[in-house]
Structure 1
Amino acid sequence: MDYLQAFILAVIEGLTEFLPVSSTGHMVIASSFMGIGKNDFVKLFEVAIQLGAILAVVVLYWKKFFDFSKWQFYVKLIIAVIPALFFGYLLNDFIDETLGNPVFIAVVLLLGGIVLLFIDRFFNNQTIDKETDISNVNAFKIGCFQVLAVVFPGLSRSAATIIGGMQQKLTRHAAAEFSFFLAVPTMCAATGYKLLKGYHLLNTENIKLLLFGNLIAFIVAIIAIKSFIGFLSKHGFRIFGWYRIIIGVVLIALYYSGIEINVI
């Protein structure tokens, strides 16, 4: 992997991690076109640069994350992340198998896109607009929706948790923000686990690439998060649904045209 390839993957991570479009699907396509997807360090890189995206959330919402007097906020995040950690560990072999199946990822992208086309019609009586009004039960149920994204790569963690939030009567704005908050412990756990497993790959050059990738992902994620909140509040999910369908079709077309698809 060179710095241009690292830059491209980091931009994709920063743009797609918090949007309901599946960063996994985009990484599959990008690494396939660049011919680098089978490299072990690339697989580590694609997960580890999530740290940059995580930092973007913490910086943008620093008052929320560092107001230790409101301990209920941390309790909600802990409660919400438990289902994903439990089932992620329990179903690790199944998850690895589905990550190796580009057609499975493409189908999940397509189906998720169809759901997003109609999601605004499903939930049109939302009453919770602030994080402080989210109960521990609400948080746990949203965390259960996140499990779907862990088990089914291509679904999008962001899409699953936002839909879960709206199912719990959160407004689009509140659901998106809680999805961002929940990403921090979830992605920290996933990234930490991946780094522990792949620490032997961390030579000097690879560490430089990781630092560079995290910096780019951080900058792009800040822009993406700010833009997404405003766009979602005004326009809803429909455009993301069509976009997911297009990406799913592209991935299937690549696979059946004989082009080698490198999976994460």
Structure 2
Amino acid sequence: MGSVLQLTDVSVVRDGNRILDRVSWEVQPTDRWVILGPNGAGKTTLLQVVSASIHATEGESILLGETVGKVDVFDLRPRIGFASSALARRIPADESVLDVVLTAAYSVTGRWNENYEDVDIRRARRVLAEWKLDHLAERRFGNLSDGEQKRVQIARSVMTDPELLLLDEPAASLDLGAREELVQLLGNYARSSEAPAMVMVTHHVEEIPPGFTHALLIADARVRAAGPIEDVITEPHLSEAFGLPLMVERSDDGRFAARAA
């Protein structure tokens, strides 16, 4: 199988400002990528390009074998799992957790008159169990904790067996316990041979789950380093990207930590 994503000299320009500047990047089906960089670096914009939510101003984007701009994006998007805070804000607060996950089958965020088969319901319940959410199936989404809502979003994003999974800051705003639980679950999923290619945006190396294989470091709209994670998450690369001398450590279980030197 070929790459699931290939960007060639992709730029995004808004009001004369380059939000992304000539980004080239390739993701293989078994890759698990983390995107790191300071605020305003272009991380979320890059994820929007990759999800076919926006079109690049310049360059070529090939997504799941299709050239964006020459294919109906509504045919592409169901093949991509996407979890983000922006998506969570569109989910009705009174929607049950089961329905939040189930409605991914129709790419909608509120159950209405769709008809779901028993196989869809069984699949949704299995996914909830895999993400330790089965006991919350009948709870209302708006009544969940931040950590539970984050896991429901991820469960929804994998409901349709996507070929590419995109996670935009899945651990943001979580307390220590909720973060560690989520990182552990994501690490287990990343190690699974059945998981799709994964791309996760984060601000903190401590949130990188074990099992992630590659990293892309972006600053000032440009890629500063990309490749195997051990080659990118280094003191020189991070110090340059964040503009501060940093010390980086990696534990035996693959977790990273960084602090000012």
Give the TM interval when normalised to the shorter protein: under 0.3
* Structure with a larger share of its residues in strand: 2
Higher relative contact order (CA 8 A, sep 6+): 1
TM-score of the pair, normalised by structure 2: 0.28
* Structure with a larger share of its residues in helix: 1
